[in-house]
Amino acid sequence: MIDDQNHLDRTPQHSIPTFDLDRLEIVTALGRGAKGVVFLARDKVKDDILALKLISRDSIEKKNAMKNGNGSEGNEYRRVIFEQQVLGTLNHPLLPRLRGVLATDKVLGYAIDYCPGRDLHSLRKKQTEKMFSDDMIRFYAAEMVLALEYLHNLGIVYRDLKPENIMIQENGHIMLVDFDLSTKLSARSPEKSMPPNSVYRSRPDSVKKKRLFPFVRCCNSGIVPDDAASQASVSTDRTESDSLEKSNSFVGTEEYVAPEIVSGKGHDFAVDWWSLGIVLHEMLYGTTPFRGLNRKETFYRILTKPPDLMGEPTSLRHLIRKLLEKDPKQRITLEGIKGHDYFKGIDWDLIMRIQRPPYIPPHSEEEIAAEDKDGLKRFDVELFVQETFANGDDDKHDANHNNIDSEKLNKQKGQFHRPEDNQFSVF
C-alpha cells in the first residue's frame, strides 16, 4: 500500500485556515460517531456555517496505548492526519471541502460544509413505507457513482459507504462524508472515466428552484475501525478494478462490508461497489440484505447467502445483484455500472447541474438562529468531547444508527436543547 501521509497527491483548491475555538461560535452539538463529536458551528470571520468534528486527544492516546499493548504499531494520530489530507485534496461538488483545521491541548479536528438535509438514512424514514421511489434511487445512485469514480481516480478507496455517510446538501445534491476508514492505493486506470481534477467545484450561494435541468434524455419512470497503513499488507494481484494493490485491513460497518474484507483475502476499489449494492438494496427494500442476529451470523450471510431480491425482475434489481457479486473479480465495474440498463438515458455530464433534485432541504438560517442564542463556551466544548469518550465506549458505538443521548449531548452549563429523533447525522 502506498504510504498514506507521504504519497497522497495534494491538489488543494483553496487555502485551509487554522481555526481556534475563539474564532468559532459553537451553536449546538449535532451528534457523535465512533471517533468524534460533531458540532454545528459558525465561523465568526467569514460568517460561514460549518460542521465541526472534534476528537479527544485522551481518546487517541488511549487507543494508541491499547494497540501498542497488542503488539500493533497503529497510530490514531496518523489516521486523523490522513483524513484531513484526503479532505484537503478533494475538489468535487459531491465531496466535502476542508474549511479549516483545529488543534488544542485537549482536542483536535476539522470543519467541513454543513449539510442541512441530514442524511439518506433519515430521509428514507420520511418516505412512504420508509422506502425510496425508483426515480429517487436512480438520482442518488448516479451521484454516488460519480463521487466514487472521482475518489477511485485519486487512488482513494472509500470503504464506508452507507446511508448515514451520504449527506444532503442545501442544494439537494449528496455529499459523501467521513473518510476515517478510507485508504490510498495506486490510482485506478481510467478508461472512460473523467480525470480526477476535471470537475470544477461550484456551489451556488443560494438554491435555485425555478428550472429543472434534464437528468435523463428520456426519463426512466460496526466493525471497529482498525486500519493503520502499517497493519495492512499488499498483494500484487490485478483485479477488475485495475488496481495493482490490495489492502488486508479489516475495516468497515459490518452490514456493508464486502466478502473479501470478511475473509481477509485482500481488497481494493471493488469493495465500494459492493457497498453501493447494499445501499441500493436498503433504499429499495428498507433493510440491508445480509443482516443477522449478531455479527457472526451477518458475516456468514455475507460470505454464503445470495441477496433476496423480492419482486418482479427489474433493471434495478439486476444491477443490485451484479454489485453484490461475492467474487470481486466478477463484480460489475465502473464502466459496467454506468452502461447498465438502469441508467439508460442518463447524461452523466448533466447530473451535477440539476438545479431541482428530488429533495431540497428547507433553508436552515431560521433554525440556526433559533439555536444560536447562547452557544457553547470553549470549556464546554472541550469538556464535553473528553467526557463523551472518557468511559471507553467509543468502540462500542453503533455506527449504523448514530445513537446518541440527545439530552446529555446538549445539556451544558444550564443550556438544554433536545433535537428531534434522528434529526442529525454525524461523520
Determine the 3-state secondary structure of 163 from DSSP: helix
Domain count for the chain: 2
The answer to whether residues 106 and 57 touch, using CB atoms and an 8 Å cutoff, is yes
Instruction: Assess if residue 418 is contained within a domain.
Output: no
Instruction: Assess if residue 103 is contained within a domain.
Output: yes
Instruction: Assess if residue 8 is contained within a domain.
Output: no
pLDDT tier, 36 (very low <50, low <70, confident <90, very high otherwise):
confident
What pLDDT score does 270 carry?
96
pLDDT tier, 188 (very low <50, low <70, confident <90, very high otherwise):
low
CATH code for the domain in which residue 203 is found? 1.10.510.10
In whole angstroms, give the CA distance from residue 255 to residue 292: 9
pLDDT tier, 215 (very low <50, low <70, confident <90, very high otherwise):
very low
Q: Taking residues 190-199, report their average pLDDT.
A: 47
Could you read off the pLDDT of 260-285 as tens digits, one per residue? 999 998 999 999 999 999 999 999 99
Instruction: Provide, rounded to the nearest whole percent, the portion of the chain with pLDDT above 70.
Output: 67
Same domain for 160 and 296, yes or no, is: yes
Q: Is residue 93 pLDDT above 90, yes or no? A: yes
Average pLDDT taken over every residue of the chain? 77
Q: Taking residues 244-250, report their average pLDDT.
A: 61
| 238: containing domain | 120-353
Q: Is residue 351 pLDDT above 70, yes or no? A: yes
173, 197, 211, 250, 296 from 117: Cα distances, Å: 9, 27, 20, 31, 34
Residue 37 has phi, psi (to 5 degrees) of: -110, 140
Same domain for 228 and 296, yes or no, is: yes
Query: What are 112's three cell numbers?
Result: 467541513
Q: Is residue 209 pLDDT above 70, yes or no? A: no
What pLDDT score does 132 carry?
94
Instruction: Assess if residue 6 is contained within a domain.
Output: no
Could you read off the pLDDT of 124-153 as tens digits, one per residue? 999 988 899 999 999 999 999 999 999 999
DSSP 195: P
Q: Which of 113, 160, 180, 227 is catalytic?
A: 160
Instruction: Assess if residue 73 is contained within a domain.
Output: yes
Q: Between 361 and 207, whose confidence is greater?
A: 361
Q: Is residue 325 pLDDT above 80, yes or no? A: yes
Among 333, 353, 373, residue at a domain's last position: 353
In whole angstroms, give the CA distance from residue 80 to residue 196: 23
Among 324, 353, 382, residue at a domain's last position: 353
Question: Is 20 among the residues known to form the active site?
Answer: no
Instruction: Assess if residue 425 is contained within a domain.
Output: no
Same domain for 320 and 214, yes or no, is: yes
What pLDDT score does 195 carry?
46
Q: Which of 142, 138, 140, 176 is CA-nearest to residue 160?
A: 176
Instruction: Provide, rounded to the nearest whole percent, the portion of the chain with pLDDT above 90.
Output: 53
Candidate from 160-164, 244-248, 388-392, 413-417 with smallest mean pLDDT: 413-417
What pLDDT score does 95 carry?
98
Same domain for 57 and 90, yes or no, is: yes
What pLDDT score does 70 carry?
55
Instruction: Assess if residue 4 is contained within a domain.
Output: no
What pLDDT score does 213 carry?
34
Instruction: Assess if residue 337 is contained within a domain.
Output: yes
Alpha-carbon torsion (350, 356, 361, 364), positive or negative: positive
Same domain for 251 and 331, yes or no, is: yes
CATH code for the domain in which residue 60 is found? 3.30.200.20
Q: Is residue 289 pLDDT above 50, yes or no? A: yes
What pLDDT score does 271 carry?
96
The answer to whether residues 18 and 100 touch, using CB atoms and an 8 Å cutoff, is yes
Same domain for 317 and 384, yes or no, is: no
pLDDT tier, 189 (very low <50, low <70, confident <90, very high otherwise):
low
Could you read off the pLDDT of 391-409 as tens digits, one per residue? 655 444 433 334 334 344 4
Same domain for 171 and 297, yes or no, is: yes
Same domain for 172 and 317, yes or no, is: yes
Could you read off the pLDDT of 372-389 as tens digits, one per residue? 555 555 558 888 888 887
Same domain for 154 and 261, yes or no, is: yes
Q: Taking residues 246-250, report their average pLDDT.
A: 63
Same domain for 149 and 48, yes or no, is: no
Predicted structure pTM score: 0.78
Among 306, 332, 353, residue at a domain's last position: 353
Q: Is residue 371 pLDDT above 60, yes or no? A: no
What pLDDT score does 128 carry?
85
174, 192, 401 from 165: Cα distances, Å: 10, 27, 11
The answer to whether residues 302 and 262 touch, using CB atoms and an 8 Å cutoff, is yes
Same domain for 344 and 210, yes or no, is: yes
Same domain for 125 and 266, yes or no, is: yes
Q: Which of 287, 296, 166 is CA-nearest to residue 223?
A: 296
Residues 6+ apart with CB under 8 A from 284: 131, 132, 137, 316, 317, 320
Q: Which of 406, 362, 348 is CA-nearest to residue 123?
A: 362
